[in-house]
Chain A
């Protein structure tokens, strides 16, 4: 009890709507600074907000997917504070009547309570220079959903599990602009002490690092008999440390009032049912089903369902390709290529038909697994035929004679290694094999190359 850790989250999720929350500007940070702006998102005198229906619907869909109760009256509020990135010096957000309340999301052996889910506008972006700052309002007015949890987490692993699950749900609902990235505020208290808030961390690794650092910091303080003060901190990803923020944000009074330019919204049951129908099978539901239906292990299924599009690919090809080959191919090879590019399958030019062709080429031993992976990498951004890609990259299967020639030249170029091998250094042989495989761009089988080298060395002898 003395060391009980309580962690709560506020997750800010940018939505992938076509336009901003209160105006018709493009919801995109691409292009020049201050390009996607208008009188509304710049807060010019006389301009008024108008609610983007798409953003509102998406926030309700997310609330429903997270088991929230939808408020009978949904109202926007003004949160007033002065900051150069905030054009009106108030943010249109929600206070008393957010979109959703009292939801939950389960993680391993635990149910995390979601106290509220609200829709709000993002401020602009500041860029600090040596003795001045620049403001880019392209982000001003971008729709954000803020998800607030109870302090139900006990360690950073649970937090990361929750966030990964959340990202996966957002992907399935197709509402999240993952290029903009989510931002998280974490509050932590140890042993029933004061709550410390760490603001604005993005990325799962920094979140984990920040939490672990802060827990240790507070534990050390408590051990020394010192009091942990209620304060707002920031996390420096470079040093891996939390530090005190300049402003005492916990003491600010935002003077909330209702936003009088937007009328309150009362959703009827029919409308809620209509939005519910837009929720597809969610990742955790699909996980269960894939394990049962395809007898996958939990970890295999987990990788496959991570993204809706890879799960879709698996299910649609499973009728045509051997399940065991397919699951490895999707869970290992494809996952590796996607992670390497930091892309979702749906964001690449990889199609179901091509994946099918590639796997069958590999299965009929026309190409090596290594070549298959190289081709797949190429397919990410290129819609040439597989045949074309193979010939363009010079990856067509090598003739034995080509391998022989390469071995000869590698042995010539690496006389020192040959010498070492003859003197009993096994590692030198591995090096020589590696050199040859590299020159074939992975087209040659390493075992065959090794045999060829040994053969050659005997001959030279």
Chain B
């Protein structure tokens, strides 16, 4: 590896705060940057939270193992919202990454560090992001790079620090669709260490350079209306026009209760998150304090005060949702609705290969505007990524604007139809 890669990475990190840990030594192979909630043996892995500031995993995540076998090396661990709790990477304990186009704006979250760095680097093409409610799509759209969120169960989560296990997915963030296809081919596949994985991996590069004539897509009317900024709408609609020119059939459909999915998603995600965060109590790993003269429960309480604001909020809300008397009304009901919504989408995929919508309803906002948002407004910015997140469907975000603030087009396919996403994304790029 040339010193140039290191020098450039350091420079980008100085200017844009993209890394929690940057490995400063020369290594052989292809560089990749990795979101800091993916365990790397011997390299500090914080998930963006202060509570894990001293956690050095004793093992590699399955995806890291696979990448190392293919000659990749980890260049650095990227900044993110703590535990993935956020849409703008502003809930980070290790510096907030900035938008590559405009430093006064956010780069999206929660995989912000990866997306920002891939956009800025001339030497590094491969990054790993991770999505729970849209954390690959959002920063990819805001930073003008490609983000691919694979079907739930296609890529092993072993070694991923959990946010909401039912939704968490690891996926590529790259400069081109081709690079995303290459990366997905390496990291996908069944894993005996993750019992939610399937044996569905393919060589995804074979889907590159294929025509899109005869493929049938639809776009949901509601994803271009209320709450979607005009410049986003215009850019995505003109991208659809281009795709039509290349042979894609596109029809309009209606999906009225799209925004209803936001609370369904957040109820399940927070319930799971609040149990996942229970283990962080200053024992065995991570942040510790002196246990002298403290009963264990007081020690745990004191240490857990070190969680950030958003972590505390989600633990509290998530715990409430699980309590007797509320559990059936929220948690159990949300699980039922999740299945209903999934079936609704399955029906759409009986008629169409793809669903097209904007990746995010807005262009990257300014830091000062994000500060003014209430948690509820904040969560609502996810309403376009949550449908695919909730249902485990695969999606790709491809940049559609060459100038100005970046905008992404989001294409969703049926479970394990990543090939179609790659074909369309690649066709658009050409």
* A interface residues, Cβ below 8 angstroms from B: 39, 42-51, 78, 80, 82-84, 87-90, 133, 253, 255-258, 260-263
Whether A256 contacts B322 in the complex (CB less than 8 A), given A46-B59, A50-B193, A263-B196, comes out as: yes
When distances are taken between beta carbons in the complex, the residues of chain A under 8 Å from B165 are 260-261
Hey, which chain A residues are within 8 Å of B52, CB to CB?
Answer: 45
Question: Closest chain A residue to B51 by CB distance?
Answer: A45
Picked from B161, B284, B331, the residue with its CB within 8 Å of the CB of A46 is B161
A90 touches B275 (CB 8 A): yes
> Would B279 and A257 count as touching, CB distance under 8 A?
no
List 7 A-B pairs, minimum CB-CB distance, nearest first: A255-B322, A89-B278, A260-B165, A46-B39, A260-B166, A46-B159, A45-B161
Q: Taking the nearest CB of chain A, how far is it from the CB of B197, in angstroms?
A: 10
How far apart are the CA atoms of A260 and B132 in the complex, in Å?
13
Instruction: Give chain B residues whose Cβ lies under 8 Å from the Cβ of A256.
Output: 322, 327
Question: Does A88 lie within 8 Å of B47, measured CB to CB?
Answer: no
Question: Is B39's CB under 8 angstroms from A89's CB?
Answer: no
Note all chain A residues with C-beta closer than 8 A to B280: 45
Q: Which of B164-191 contact A (CB under 8 A)?
A: 164-166
Residues of B within 8 A of A87 (CB): 279, 284
A82 to chain B, nearest CB (A): 6
Interface size class of B (residues with CB under 8 A): 35 or more
Could you name 25 residue pairs across A and B whose Cβ atoms are closer than 8 Å?
A39-B58, A44-B284, A45-B45, A46-B61, A46-B158, A46-B159, A46-B161, A50-B193, A51-B195, A80-B274, A82-B300, A89-B281, A90-B279, A256-B322, A256-B327, A257-B271, A257-B322, A260-B164, A260-B166, A260-B196, A260-B272, A261-B195, A261-B196, A263-B195, A263-B196
- The answer, yes or no, to whether B297 is at the interface (CB within 8 Å) is yes
Residues of A near B279 (CB, < 8 A) are: 43, 45, 87-90
**Residue with the greatest number of chain B CB neighbours at <10 A, chosen from A45, A83, A88, A257:** A45
Residues of B near A255 (CB, < 8 A) are 274-275, 319, 322-324, 327
Considering the chains assembled together, what is the distance between the CA atoms of A263 and B55 in angstroms? Answer: 28
Chain A residue numbers with a CB within 8 Å of B252 are: none
> How many pairs of residues, A versus B, come closer than 8 Å at their CB atoms?
101
Residues in B whose Cβ lies below 8 Å from that of A90: 275, 278-279
A39-B58, A48-B158, A261-B165 given; A80·B322 CB < 8 A: yes
A47 / chain B contacts, CB cutoff of 8 Å: 59, 158-159
Q: Known: A80-B322, A253-B324, A255-B323. Contact between A46 and B278, CB under 8 A?
A: no
Given A48-B193, A51-B195, A90-B278, A84:B283 Cβ within 8 A: yes
B233 at the A interface (CB under 8 A): no
Q: Give Cα A210 to B319, complex, Å.
A: 36
Instruction: For the A-B complex with A46-B158, A50-B192, A257-B331 known, give 13 more contacts whose Cβ atoms are closer than 8 Å.
Output: A39-B59, A45-B285, A45-B286, A46-B159, A46-B160, A50-B195, A51-B195, A82-B278, A82-B281, A253-B323, A255-B322, A260-B165, A263-B196
A48 touches B278 (CB 8 A): no
Docked-complex contact B166 and A88, CB < 8 angstroms: no
Q: State A248–B94 Cα separation when bound (angstroms).
A: 40
Chain B residues with Cβ under 8 A from A253's Cβ?
A: 323-324
CB of B278 within 8 A of CB of A80, answer yes
- Chain A min CB distance to B412 (Å): 22
- Tell me if B98 is interfacial: C-beta within 8 Å of chain A: no
The chain B residues found within 8 Å of chain A, CB to CB, are 38-39, 45, 47, 52, 55, 57-59, 61, 157-162, 164-166, 192-196, 271-272, 274-275, 278-281, 283-286, 296-297, 300, 319, 322-324, 327, 331, 335
Question: What are the residues of chain A within 8 A of B158 when measuring CB–CB?
Answer: 46-48
Closest CB-CB distance, A72 to chain B, in whole Å? Answer: 17
CA distance A255 to B57 in the complex (A): 29
User: How many Å from the CB of B295 to the closest CB on chain A?
Assistant: 10
By a CB distance below 8 angstroms, the chain B residues around A257 are 271-272, 275, 322, 331
Q: How far is the CA of A438 from the CA of B329 in the complex (A)?
A: 77
Q: Please measure, in the bound complex, the distance between the C-alpha atom of A39 and the C-alpha atom of B61, giving whole angstroms.
A: 12
Q: A258 to B196, alpha carbons, bound, how many Å?
A: 14
CA A42 – CA B283 in complex, angstroms?
10
With both beta carbons as reference points, the residue of chain B lying nearest to A39 in the complex is identified as B59
Chain A residues with CB under 8 Å of B57's CB are: 39, 44-46
* A257→B164 CA distance, assembly (Å): 12
Measured CB to CB, the nearest residue on chain B to A40 is: B193
Report Cα–Cα, A207/B288, bound state, in Å: 41
User: Min CB distance, B420 to chain A, in Å?
Assistant: 26
- Is the beta-carbon distance between A45 and B39 smaller than 8 angstroms? yes
What is the bound-complex CA distance between A260 and B159, given in angstroms?
15
Q: Which B residue sits closest to A84, measured CB to CB?
A: B296
- Name the distance in Å between A266's Cβ and chain B's nearest Cβ: 14
Which residues in B have their C-beta under 8 angstroms from that of A263? 195-196
Task: Tell me, rounded to whole Å, the shortest Cβ–Cβ distance linking B1 to chain A.
Answer: 27
Contacts of A133 in B (CB 8 A): 296
CB distance from A227 to the nearest CB of B (A): 25
In Å, the complex CA distance between A253 and B30 comes to: 50
Q: Which residues on B sit within 8 Å (CB–CB) of A48?
A: 157-158, 193-195
- Give the chain A neighbours of B157 by CB distance below 8 A: 48
Nearest-neighbour CB distance to chain B for A237, whole angstroms, equals 25
CA distance A447 to B298 in the complex (A): 72
A133 to B296 alpha-carbon distance, docked (Å): 10
Known A-B contacts A50-B193, A262-B195; the reply to A78 vs B275 at CB < 8 A is: yes
Q: How long is the Cα–Cα vector from A47 to B38 in the complex, in angstroms?
A: 11
Shortest beta-carbon distance, A76 to chain B, in Å?
10
Partner pick for B284 among A42, A50, A261, CB 8 A cutoff = A42
A80 proximity list for chain B (CB < 8 A): 274-275, 278, 322
